[in-house]
Structure 1
Amino acid sequence: MTDPSILIVGGGAVGLGIGWELVRQGRPVTIFDRGLAGRGASWLAAGMLAADAELQFEEPELYRLSRESMRRWPDFARALEAAAGDTVDYRDEGTLLVADDPDSAAALRRRYTFQKEQGLAVEWLTGAEALEREPFLAPRLAAAVFAPDDHQVDNRRVLEACKRAFVRAGGVLREHTPVQAVVPDAAAPAVVTEAGERIEGGTVILAAGAWSRQVEGLEPDVRPPVRPVKGQMIELRVERPFALRHVVRGPQAYLAPKSDGRVLVGATSEEMGFDTRVTAGGLYTILEGAWEIVPGIYDLPVTDTWAGLRPASRDHAPILGMAAPGVVVATGHYRHGILLMPVTAQEVARLVLTGETSPWLQPFSPRRFSTHTPASPLS
């Protein structure tokens, strides 16, 4: 069977974002997903757009990509809302990073100093000043940093909106259709489903998240070294006057309040393979860390718990670019799938349409892990 579509393996935030970007530029696109599109790791996330809060000393290239994606988010959100006819609940109140003891305050001060050296618009707050901004914080907090440029969205609304916009624009979704292999070919690359169906197209994009390495067909040097990292989370529901104004991030947990009354609390980081069981120990760790910084959660009802699988590459940076003739890889976004959604969608679409790898993608080449190519700054 021959299909002229661009074929995308994986219908998460990355696959849906790329698919929507391509289909609204007039290209036929088919997305294959092993389950329901949009119901993987990004559905089970918190929707934080935290480029500044998650800045790491050793990840300058990833930080630059994150800041660029953050810059694109407002326009991306408006376009997505217009196309889907629904809100994605983009919120720009900023984020509070808090310290609950002298040791965590010292660590936060080092992070703040580094952030200021990078020119970030962050503000140091005493515990009392933090409490003025966010009355539900623990009164004994040692210090805080306010990051005004770190925003949030409702990740589930984003995924549903992107799915709707993709289909409205003519995209084809093939859900419950796991792909076993990709077939590189400059003229007619293909995918082969687990049912044995072979579909040829113009370009194949591998965006299967934590399952990307399970898809066969790529040479070892460019087969994405992606593994699942388990993250457990808790959903609380506000049933009394308890209105967090900001995302709050502490040493052991974060809280992300949503406009519909949910408060998402997370998250563990566990090397447990494809295990998605929710555990007593995981929930205890999250709740203890959250209670230390926002004790008012003690009385909130727990309405849901879950565990998702983040797709982590060997260096915890995304893998973006041409991997083989006719095959592009877009995976390994780890904790940043929603944050990096605009820049990934737009720059991978540009690669597919023009054949040119933009400067934003170059540091994240699938070939940076190869033993036959020079190491990149991320290796």
Structure 2
Amino acid sequence: MAEAIHADVAVIGGGVIGLGIAHEARRLGRSVALIDPAPATGATFAAAGMLAPVSELHYQEEDLLGLMLESSKLWPSFAGGLRQAVEATGYRTTPTLAVGADAADRRALADLRTVQLAAGLGVEPLSVRTAREREPLLSPQISCAFEIPADHQVDPRKLAGCLMAGLAAHSPGADTWVGGARDGFAVADSAHGLLWDGRRVAGVELGSGKSVLAGETVVANGLGAPALAGLPEGLELPVRPVYGDILRLRVPAHLRPLLTATVRGMVRGVPVYIVPRDDGTVVIGATQREDGLSATSNAVSAGGVYQLLRDAQVLVPAVAELELLEATARARPGTPDNAPLLGRVAEPDGYLAGLIVATGFFRHGVLLTPVAARIVGELLTGSPDSRWSIFRPDRFSASRGQPWPMEVPTGAHQ
């Protein structure tokens, strides 16, 4: 066999989910090989970082709501558990304001609040006057405002940097980093497919021909997951690319702070958000399209940029005076039910040993990072929480074994 690298856990994918899982594996004392040719340059690079379980509630996604709320509760300890100060991640617990532009938007937000209240979520109405006292640059023409205390934010780029720095801080003798040639770690490489030893997954074959041999392999490479060679027969991972355009702008000194809280708005029925950062910039997003425009180039949609700037100015007219720094588009991995593919793969007589799947996080990847890391950590230690088996990765695979047992086969968490 070609040159091999040995680790307790191989994590395929260096987005925020993969980085969070690698961080948790290190916290549990496992050695880790993180496999990604360019960590944190995909959807993580574009994400706004809203931690918004309440705002992100959608019809018929009640199971996903439970996962989002659980992860939201984990965020303070997750951010506090990094080597850097919490402030280094851009984690902020200021509440979110939801605002509507016109009467139709007011009715739509009122209907959404009814659903949110029915789910036991806290959403407090504010008068327009009170909202503008808090955020003076809001348009006086907005039709309504609600405060959402539970919805917060983090800066995904800073978060990814903190996670990578923490992983790199461990001795190269104890860990191997495959990808992102930083701090003397191995050169970047890609995952070609899974390696097998009998009926268990034994590691990863790399694009270079080298191998990573591991007791556990975690597939966390988003849209790349279905293309891995050697996936279990009959396992379907139905992820599709959902593209989003997102803007970053600098606020001139005389307008700072443009906002102190995240503003999520509805403008003529179309959602838009403005997220303030501590460095004097704001993030405006995000479109959602499945047109394939960015399939090979991450191309930004001109119409998307126009729509975002137009709608953001309806809510905060001073947006017109900001400096446009960056327009970015990335694909997010969507699933048929918008929920992640997360857990072990079932066999007729138990679990497939050595393999964990963590993909399909769609628009919730940053929010769900702590709970995904926790769930994978519990699987690594043989103590899974049965609440999350509803997100099993083989739930769309008609030919895979059922039922879904909670026992882990001997050797599956070495």
TM-score of Structure 1 vs Structure 2, range by shorter chain: over 0.9
Determine whether 1:282 maps to 2:282: no
1:149 maps to which residue? 150
Q: Of 255, 262, 278, which residue of structure 2 is paired with 1:241? A: 255
Map 1:1-379 to 2 at 5 A. Answer: 1=4, 3-35=6-38, 37-80=39-82, 82=83, 87-170=88-171, 171-175=175-179, 176-185=188-197, 189-219=202-232, 221-239=234-252, 240-243=254-257, 244-251=259-266, 252-273=271-292, 274-275=295-296, 276-323=298-345, 324-354=352-382, 356-372=383-399
Q: Structure 2: how far apart are the matches of 1:214 and 1:187?
A: 19
Q: Which moved more, 1:319-328 or 1:96-105?
A: 319-328
Contact 2:226 2:237 in 1 (8 A): yes
Could you report, residue by residue, the CA deviation over 1:287-308 in whole angstroms, capped at 9, with x for unpaired residues? 1121111111001110111111
Contact 1:318 1:333 in 2 (8 A): yes
Contact 2:357 2:393 in 1 (8 A): yes
Unmatched 5+ stretches in structure 2: 180-187, 346-351, 405-414
- TM-score (structure 1 length as normaliser): 0.93
Q: CA deviation at 1:130?
A: 2.0
Q: Which moved more, 1:320-329 or 1:199-208?
A: 320-329
2:412 maps to which residue? none
Q: Structure 1: how far apart are the matches of 2:287 and 2:380?
A: 36
Contact 2:7 2:212 in 1 (8 A): no
Contact 2:256 2:280 in 1 (8 A): no
Contact 1:18 1:345 in 2 (8 A): yes
- TM-score (structure 2 length as normaliser): 0.85
Could you report, residue by residue, the CA deviation over 1:305-357 in whole angstroms, capped at 9, with x for unpaired residues? 11111111221111101124311100111111110011111111110221x43
Change (3 A) 1:22 1:101: same
Q: Structure 2: how far apart are the matches of 1:352 and 1:137?
A: 48
SS across alignment from 1:311: strand
**Higher Rg of the two aligned structures:** 2
Q: CA deviation at 1:285?
A: 1.2
Tell me the amino acid that sits aligned with residue 242 of structure 1: R
SS across alignment from 1:303: strand
2:348 maps to which residue? none
Contact 1:181 1:191 in 2 (8 A): yes
Tell me the amino acid that sits aligned with residue 329 of structure 2: A
Tell me the amino acid that sits aligned with residue 336 of structure 2: R
Change (3 A) 1:258 1:18: same
Unmatched 5+ stretches in structure 1: none
Q: Structure 1: how far apart are the matches of 2:329 and 2:43?
A: 9
Q: CA deviation at 1:108?
A: 0.4
RMSD of aligned alpha carbons: 2.0
SS across alignment from 1:54: coil
Tell me the amino acid that sits aligned with residue 330 of structure 2: G
Tell me the amino acid that sits aligned with residue 268 of structure 1: T
Q: Structure 1: how far apart are the matches of 2:365 and 2:161?
A: 15
Moved over 3 A (4+): 82-86, 184-188, 372-376
Q: CA deviation at 1:188?
A: 5.5
Q: Structure 2: how far apart are the matches of 1:113 and 1:180?
A: 48
Change (3 A) 1:226 1:283: same
Q: CA deviation at 1:280?
A: 1.4
Q: Structure 1: how far apart are the matches of 2:60 and 2:125?
A: 22
2:410 maps to which residue? none
Q: Structure 2: how far apart are the matches of 1:195 and 1:303?
A: 36
Change (3 A) 1:61 1:181: same
Q: Structure 2: how far apart are the matches of 1:375 and 1:147?
A: 39
Q: Structure 2: how far apart are the matches of 1:197 and 1:325?
A: 22
Contact 2:217 2:355 in 1 (8 A): yes
Change (3 A) 1:86 1:108: closer
Q: Structure 1: how far apart are the matches of 2:53 and 2:386?
A: 19
SS across alignment from 2:356: strand
